[in-house]
Amino acid sequence: MELERKFLGAGAGLRLGDELVAEGAVIEGYASLFGVPDRGGDVVAAGAYRASLSRMAQRGGRVKMLWQHDPLQPIGVWDEVVEDARGLRVRGRLLDAVARGREAAALVKAGALDGLSIGYRTVASTAEGRGRRLVEIDLWEISLVTFPMLGEARVAAKAAAPEDGWAALAAVLERGRAALVAQGPQEGARHDG
């Protein structure tokens, strides 16, 4: 069975948090909403992820965070993936040690990248309207995407300014410069200018 993908767009409230942690920028929101038809007519039923999330937790696994569903481009980690009354709520980190993770954070902040999409396999579904009612889903990954299938899952950018990182780097460099000045000239050191 082939891996399927569902996209969630505007209004679901994925946001890039004000929080920058040692491992990257925090993002959170909804990757899927229950009872909301996507562009293909499919509707995810409440509880559809429960068994998959339970199996993953039992084996100590994590849902992968990918760039545009590309398995060769992980961009971060989902620290929390839970079902609540509204849908599949997620919280994770875009890793700044990964080039594409830094790019994703900048694109989210600028509003150029704002969609979420799930990669999954359908375990159980019923025909409904022009699509399906997805009753049980085997969740594999959640991606940041440009064009989401479900318009209600979008990123709301709210990040610390990129300059904050530069300011921290500048402070470290200034402390290093001050320490060197305090040491005075070193024997054999050359100063041009």
Which three-class secondary structure string do you get for 113-179?
CCEEEEEEEEEEEEEECCEEEEEEEEEEEEEEECCCCECCCEEEECCCCCHHHHHHHHHHHHHHHHH
Residue type, 10: A
Residue 6 pairs in a beta bridge with: 118
Q: 156 or 46: whose pLDDT is higher?
A: 46
Task: Supply the pTM of this predicted model.
Answer: 0.72
Residue 3 pairs in a beta bridge with: none
Radius of gyration of the chain (CA): 22
Question: pLDDT tier at 109 (50, 70, 90 boundaries)?
Answer: confident
How many Cα atoms sit within 13 Å of 110 on the Cβ side? 10
Q: Residue 57 belongs to what H/E stretch?
A: helix 50-58
pLDDT digit string (tens) for 62-91? Answer: 999 999 999 999 999 999 999 999 999 999
pLDDT of residue 111: 84
Question: pLDDT tier at 189 (50, 70, 90 boundaries)?
Answer: very low
Plot region of 111 (φ>0 → left; ψ -120 to 50 → alpha; else → beta): left
